[in-house]
Structure 1
Amino acid sequence: MARTLAWRPRRGGTDGSAATAHAVDRPHAAPRPDAGPTDAERAVGDCAVYTPDGRVEGRLPLHGAVASAEQRGGFVWVGVQQPSAEEFAEIAAVFGLPELAVEDAVKAHQRPKLEVYGDVLFAVLKPIRYVDSEEVVETAEIAVFVGRTFVVTVRHGVSDVLAGVRRDLDQAGQGHDLLAHGPAGVLYAAADRVVDAYDEVADAIDIDIEQIEGQVFGGDEEDHAQRIYKLKREVLEFRRAVAPLERPLQRLTETDVPHVPAALRPFFRDVHDHAERAAERVEGHDRLLTDVLSADLAQVSVRQNRTAVRQNEDMRKISAWAAIALVPTAVAGIYGMNFQYMPELGWRFGYPAVLLLILVVCLGLARLFRRNGWL
């Protein structure tokens, strides 16, 4: 998990030009004779062409989709879910995707980032959702390849971000903003939905933290450290999705990113502002949970000390009563030895005198212990 921040070059210059040498530098593959769907085509969830007037009806075959998009003046969007390396290799060959980015898209477990490979823009987004019943942050991953006339998306995990973007595009009519912005519009719509979900997750975590605060500072005698620590780990998972995304979004507002029209940069700037706000909320959650955990541990320590004090008081009382009870026990033990020649046995007032002695000593000990706080 400990990698560099989102924007990083690949074995060369700052624009990723060195990595371009690994790209598949060949024309888009031409349609092949009908031989049934290939493994790559079976792995594709949807393959459609979008023009400024909307979606072209039907689903296109993988081979020849780019040519169809170019003829219609639009772009093709190919959506894939958790493909194998073999399945995605064919897709990469069709669209000329860079080898290093293809490897990242297939293996997943990447940080949010933005990389430029020649004429291909590669981005990784981390959609998350909060399962409130389990207090768990679930993370998915989306890899997006943006070219001049195509978008290829790869999804790992459970997320409805791309489905929502696809639904919006399918229902969009002539002049819709997303369609007007071309392939980069898909990237913007996906990033916007991802960041909007961050606010929803942050709101849900706010509710749980308020509940924990009420329990910790409301006199609840239970130990909440385990729940607080678990929620703190989920906030850390949240941070891993949010914090590295700020730099890629800021980069998308700059002028040297291919296929991102100038009209779209203010929209990415707005998404960047929302991501910064989400990152600040995550940092606040982490600090607040740290303070609540410290307070809970302090209260546990106080309760333990209070219990120890009560136990010490009980032991002093028990010891005091044991000392008082020892007096009659000792005297009775002496006179219970049944020797024939004991001086007090023949004395008329011996019995009441011994009882009086026992009473005086016991009362004296009781007064002494009470004055010292033992009784």
Structure 2
Amino acid sequence: MDVRLVTDGGIEDRPIEELPELLGDADNLVWVDIPSCDEEAVSVLAEVFCFHPMAVRACFERNRVPKVHAYPDHVFVILHAPERGERGHVHYIELDQFVGRNYLVTVHGPINPAVEPEVALRETSAILKRIKAGRLRPATPFELSYAIVSALTRHHEAYIETMTGDVWRLEQRVTGGQVDNPEEFLDELFRVRHGLLAVRTMGALSGAIYGRMTSLTRISPGGQRLVVDIADQFDRVRIVADGEREYLQGVIEFYQSVLTVKATLVGQAQNEEVKRLTEASYAQNEQVKKISAWAAIFFAPTLIGTVYGMNFDHMPELHWVAGYPAALALMVLVAVALYVMFRRRGWL
């Protein structure tokens, strides 16, 4: 936990034991920065600042959406910043603030173990460097909070800039026909879309809570102007994210149209191949029918000749005078009858 006194000449680190005395002077601007909400931090928040138990509990629990709670002597605000993770995952980096009459308490909420601890301190560290370098001289807690939140919104915009680069790269791959694996490419498209949707949601919800703060009468006119500007910054984040998300949606729809056209062409080619195979099969069947018909026609005379060619002793037809002509006539008659039948059925 870092206790700092912001003065006209810069910023001074003070021991935690001096915190009650520093808060007792209404002319002081005290900044207490808590990197992680441990037992000591909970004790300070509850006993020294006497914050509401629900607000204290919110500091060491993960909050999924931005919030604002107005108390008689301070305002409690919960915000998030996006951090890119693996495979398109978006980490929500939480920053809690207690903005009082002469103090600002910043609490960095729980973070995913996959995120470096320094990421949570990004905005407060940047503002601390500016104050030490003399480039920033906040005179009120709201001015100090304004500087930190403005740094947070700039990170939102930088995150959108990174996502925009991904959108352009994906668009170039689509228009250039450089997509080898459609399933993997669609996965990339929807990862980027998820990132834009996440930062858009952060901007919209954060802008909504600052919009609500503009109606709080306990905030000074100077603080109100800063609150209005922050609400405008978050609204811009939402608008830019919406624009890039719609642009990406156009890329997705274009790629889906390309896949549909390719699938249609493949289907047509397959239909033509099936048609060709069907025609070949039909022609083959016609030839088989002809062969079968002629085989049946020649089978009848062969059968008659085979029967009378067995030369058994008791075959009366073999001793008939008209046996041979009758056998030939029968062969011709059966063959002609089969020919006529197959001809009528279209086999010949």
TM-score (norm: length of structure 2): 0.72
Q: Using the alignment, how far apart are the partners of 1:339 and 1:148 within structure 2?
A: 115
Gaps of 5+ in 1: 1-43, 347-375
Number of residue pairs the alignment of both structures matches: 292
Q: Structure 1 residue aligned with 2:134, among 172, 188, 195? A: 172
SS of 1:97's partner is coil
Residue 238 of structure 2 is aligned to residue 282 of structure 1: no
Q: Which residue of 1 aligns with 2:323?
A: none
Pair 276,195 (structure 1): closer, same or farther in 2 beyond 3 Å:
same
The counterpart of 2:192, out of the listed 217, 221, 231, is: 231
Post-superposition Cα deviations, 1:159-204, rounded to whole Å, max 9, x if no partner, equal: 311111222223338xx531xx222222111110011112111222
Aligned equivalents of 2:267, 2:63: Cα separation in 1: 49
Q: Given the alignment, which residue of 188, 209, 229 partners 2:146?
A: 188
What SS does the corresponding residue of 2:75 show, helix, strand or coil? strand
Letter of the 2:3 counterpart: C
Counterpart amino acid of residue 208 in structure 2: R
Kept after mapping to 2: 8 A contact 1:49/1:69: no
Q: When you count helix as a share of all residues, which structure comes out higher? A: 2
Identify if the C-alpha distance between structure 1 residues 188 and 307 changes in structure 2 by more than 3 Å, giving closer, same or farther.
same
Partner residue in 2 for 1:147: 100
Alpha carbons 1:130, 1:204 under 8 Å: kept: no
CA distance in 2, matches of 1:274, 1:87: 31
Alignment of 1:35-114 (within 5 A): 44=1, 46-56=2-12, 58-61=13-16, 63-68=17-22, 70=24, 73-84=27-38, 87-114=41-68
Distance 1:257 1:283, change over 3 A: farther
2:260 corresponds to 1:301: yes
Contact 1:128 1:194 in 2 (8 A): no
After the TM superposition, which residues 1-375 of structure 1 pair with which residues of structure 2 at under 5 Å, given as runs? 44=1, 46-56=2-12, 58-61=13-16, 63-68=17-22, 70=24, 73-84=27-38, 87-130=41-84, 134-156=87-109, 157=111, 158-159=119-120, 160-172=122-134, 176-178=136-138, 181-220=139-178, 222-223=181-182, 224-251=185-212, 256-258=217-219, 261-332=220-291, 339=299, 341-342=301-302
Equivalent residues of 2:37, 2:59 under 8 A apart = no
Distance 1:304 1:102 in 2: 57
Conserved 8 A contact 1:198-1:278: yes
Query: TM-score when scaled to structure 1?
Result: 0.67
Distance 1:79 1:256 in 2: 27
8 Å CA contact retained: 2:142, 2:226: no
CA RMSD of aligned residues (A): 3.2
Secondary structure at the counterpart of residue 37 of structure 2: coil
Aligned equivalents of 1:256, 1:235: Cα separation in 2: 35
Equivalent-residue separation in structure 2 for 1:299 and 1:85 (angstroms): 58
Partner of 1:24: none
Contact kept? 1:52, 1:74, Cα under 8 Å: no
With over 3 angstroms needed to count, the CA separation of the structure-2 counterparts of 1:297 and 1:168, relative to structure 1, is same
Aligned residue for 2:301, secondary structure, equals coil
> Structure 2 vs 1, CA of residues 320 and 255 (structure 1 numbering), >3 Å: closer, same or farther?
closer
